[in-house]
A and B are shown apart, each in its own frame.
Chain A
Amino acid sequence: MSKIEMTVNGKTVAGEAEDRTLLVNFLRDNLGLTGTHVGCDTSQCGCCTIHLNGDAIKSCTMLAIQAEGADIVTIEGMAKGEKLHPVQQAFTECHGLQCGFCTPGMIMTSAAILKQTPNPTEHDIVKGLHGNLCRCTGYVNIVKSVKRAAEIINSGA
Chain B
Amino acid sequence: MYALNYQRAKSLDEAVKLLGAEPEAKLMAGGQTLIPTLKARLAQPSHLIDLARVAELKGIEVKDGVLIIGAMSKHYEVMTSAVVQKAIPGLANMASLIGDLQVRNMGTMGGSIANNDPAADYPAGVLAHNVTIVTNKREIKADDYFQGMFATALEEGEIIIKLLWPLPKKSAYSKFEHPASGYAMAGTCIAQLADGSVRVGVTGAGSSGAFRWTEAEEALAKSFSLKALEGLKVDPETCLGDLHAPPEYRAHLVGVMAKRALEKML
Contacts and interface: CB of A to CB of B under 8 A. Distances in A.
Contact of A44 (B31, B40, B181): B181
A62 B32 CA distance: 8
Contacts of A109: 101-102
Interface in B74-103: 76, 99-103
A55 to B, nearest CB: 4
Contacts of B150: none
A56 B35 contact: no
Contact of B36 (A42, A49, A57, A65): A42
Interface residues of B, number: 27
B3 A46 contact: no
B39 interface: yes
Contacts of B32: 43, 61
Looking at B38, B100, B101, the one whose CB has the most chain A CB atoms below 10 A away is B101
B230 to A, nearest CB: 31
B90 to A, nearest CB: 18
Contact of A58 (B3, B102, B181): B102
B6 A65 contact: yes
Contacts, number: 77
Nearest to A105: B102
Nearest to B35: A61
A41 B102 contact: no
A27 to B, nearest CB: 15
B73 to A, nearest CB: 14
Name the residue among B2, B4, B52 with the largest chain A CB count within 10 angstroms.
B4
Interface in A5-38: 18-20, 22
Given A19-B4, A63-B35, 9 more contacts: A43-B32, A55-B105, A56-B101, A60-B39, A61-B35, A62-B31, A63-B6, A63-B31, A128-B101
Interface of A: 2, 18-20, 22, 41-44, 46, 49, 52, 55-58, 60-63, 65-66, 68, 109, 112-113, 128, 130-132
Q: Which 5 A-B residue pairs are closest in the complex by CB-CB distance? A: A131-B100, A19-B6, A130-B100, A55-B105, A20-B1
